[in-house]
Amino acid sequence: MQMKKWLYTLLVVVLAACSNEIPEQQPAKRSGRTVLAYLVSNSPNSLEINLQNNVVDMYTALAGSKDSCTLLVFYRPQEYQSFLDVPTLLCFDTDGRGNINGSPALSGGNLTFEGVCQTARKKEYTLNSQVATDPDVMEEVFADMQKEAPSDSYGLIFGSHATGWIKGTSFQARAFGDDNGYNIDIPDLADVLKRSFPEKKLDFVLFDACMMGTAEVGYELKEVTSHCIASVMETPIYGFPYDQILPYLYTQNIDYSAVCHEFISFNKKSNQWGTCAVMACSQMENLAEAVKAKLFEWQEALPSISMQKVQQYGISGGRRDYRYFSYDLLDFFRELGRKSGMAEADLNEAVASVQTALNQAVIAKDCLSGEDYAFGGLVIDDTRFCGIGMYIPGEYNRYVTNKTVWNNYYKQSISWYHAAGWDELN
């Protein structure tokens, strides 16, 4: 009888060790930071292959890690075109000695998206009539992630299509995400994160998505995360080089300048374009106050400002037209200062209050500048690139006077509009 009981216990242990499904019991809390990723590729303009490559690169980074760490990836696949049949949470633990989920890490010809998925612990989701950008779905996934990997803190990567603060479905905008045409607007996304991480345990949110590096986005996230990593431009479809940047994202004190540099260097080697910046979201209130004070000081010059002289970050092409959705924040005030009668030699001193607030709010930045790295006719001048952009409403910018949907939504829903004082100008 004792022998039978011992054999039964051994069998249970072996079966549990061999299972790839997420176990029901509560895991031990992890020290340090756990990295989470939320990737959505189910759109007509699919990023499926690129997001699959991103997952493989993340796995590669784990395989080379010298420390134990955890990665959880929610992957919404392109319907009927992916190895995964349904949205799936993929879980990976590395022991820092080349093993992932208890087995030697894949390499060579075995290192494929399919192979990586097969080695993961998994939870599958049946969305029925819901989509991956539905707030209820997102909250469920974030709860599952934290249940699977309780941690001192988290970092969160979002990968999909996006159009910054612009409301989804307007002018072919996607806000964040594209699950067969459905997306989530940035204020709603901030609310989801606030509810999902009530203890403000998000050290960073990284947007591997277009046009998210704006003051409007950073301000919406100020109560959600410590840092926001994003590009103010449309981003190349390859995304971030995760095999290079993921190790930085696990360190106690993240070298954000290195993250920006690795992204821009990767784009340069790929003969692409790009910008990258990191906002310290806790400083966005101070930046808003500095912007508001300067707008009030120079408001009489607003009607005469030459917006075509300000560095802007949107392009027009295909079915989209994002020109003038975002202007360089500091370059805007330089031009406004000129129209206020400031001499060129005095401009730096005149915008010093905004520059000081920017230095605190934008803690890292990098870009590819010049004609060699133009995108859709848009050329970035690194001497005018402050890191982030800002929308100039239609009352003060003739280029977007007819963007009624943009302007109405901006005034009604985007917190930066009020924080920066646009609503109080005469």
Torsional sign, CA 298, 302, 305, 308? positive
pLDDT of residue 408: 96
Are 86 and 126 contacting, i.e. CB atoms less than 8 angstroms apart? yes
Q: Average pLDDT for residues 9-23, to the nearest whole number?
A: 46
Are 20 and 120 contacting, i.e. CB atoms less than 8 angstroms apart? yes
Architecture of the CATH domain 31-282 = 3-Layer(aba) Sandwich (3.40)
Packing angle of the helix pair 284-297, 352-361 (nearest 10 deg): 160
- pTM value is 0.93
Antiparallel, parallel or unpaired: β 320-321 and 88-94: unpaired
Q: What is the mean pLDDT of the chain?
A: 91
Residue 421 has pLDDT above 50, yes or no: yes
Q: What is the pLDDT of residues 199-209, one digit of tens each?
A: 878 999 999 99
pLDDT of residue 42: 87
Domain ranges of the chain: 31-282, 285-360+370-424
Q: What is the pLDDT of residues 17-59, one digit of tens each?
A: 444 666 555 565 565 899 999 999 888 778 999 999 999 999 9
pLDDT of residue 199: 84
Query: What b-and-e string marks burial along 274-311, b requiring 16 or more CB atoms within 10 Å of the CB?
Result: bbbbbbbbebbeebbebbbebbeebbebbeebebeebb
Q: Average pLDDT for residues 357-376, to the nearest whole number?
A: 97
